[in-house]
């Protein structure tokens, strides 16, 4: 294996699913400016997630549409003429 290609700045980071407030802690090299106080009383860097295994439809078994940036509406507007032709 090549030497000196892996990052050396691994540290504990909290990842929080903002859709259901589920949080977990793991080691990561991700950079973030936000911090959060964890259950052990220590402060850790915080990374906010839009979706995790606790809110993803595949893992939960619920078919729920998550549209955070209006992507579905943008798609429908873009292809509106195509839909109108079929009707």
When pLDDT is cut at 50, 70 and 90, the band that residue 67 belongs to is low
- Assess whether pLDDT exceeds 80 at residue 65: no
Let me know: does 61 contact 44? Beta carbons within 8 Å: no
Distances 44 to 7, 9, 12, 31, 53 between C-alpha atoms, Å: 19, 14, 7, 12, 21
Let me know: does 64 contact 33? Beta carbons within 8 Å: no
Q: How many helices (H) and strands (E) does the chain have?
A: 3, 4
Tokens matching residue 8: 């050396």
Q: What's the full length of the chain, in residues?
A: 87
Q: What angle do CA 32, 36, 42 make, to 5 degrees?
A: 115
- Per-domain boundaries in the chain: 11-86
- For 2-48, how does the pLDDT look when each residue is reduced to its tens digit (9 = 90+)? 888 888 889 999 999 988 889 999 999 999 999 999 999 999 999 99
């Amino acid at each position: 294996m090549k030497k000196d290609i892996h990052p050396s700045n691994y540290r504990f980071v909290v990842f929080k699913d903002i859709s259901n407030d589920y949080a977990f802690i793991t080691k990561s090299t991700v950079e973030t400016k936000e911090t959060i106080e964890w259950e052990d009383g220590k402060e850790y860097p915080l990374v906010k997630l839009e979706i995790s295994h606790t809110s993803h439809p595949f893992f939960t078994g619920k078919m729920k549409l998550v549209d955070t940036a209006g992507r579905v509406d943008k798609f429908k507007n873009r292809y509106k003429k195509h839909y109108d032709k079929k009707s």
